[in-house]
Amino acid sequence: MVALYTRLREMRKRRNLSQAMLAKELNIDQSTYSGYETGKSGIPLRIMVDIAKYYGVTVDEMLVDEDEDETKKIGLIRIR
């Protein structure tokens, strides 16, 4: 499973955004956003929702790896 912080970095880079640009859109400091991408800081739910809205995805889509098979997805849903 791809870690959330890795997925955040991939999503940002696919859109050719810098951390500073995305942080500005989210109304947070670049250093704060950097902590999310490196896994050094936890991401508040409000920020996760804001990031999902910015990218036009759901929080679930950000958390579940697209490459996982359905069995793994069902297991994750049950754990939650």
Could you state, in order of their start, the residue ranges of all structural domains in the chain? 4-79
- Check whether 71 has a pLDDT greater than 90: no
CATH number corresponding to 4-79: 1.10.260.40
The per-residue pLDDT for 66 is: 63
Q: For 43-60, how does the pLDDT look when each residue is reduced to its tens digit (9 = 90+)? A: 999 999 999 999 999 998
Q: Do residues 54 and 25 make contact, with C-beta atoms less than 8 angstroms apart?
A: yes
Per-residue pLDDT of 17-31, as tens digits, reads 999 999 999 999 999
Helix axes 4-14, 30-38, angle to 10 degrees: 120
pTM of the model: 0.77
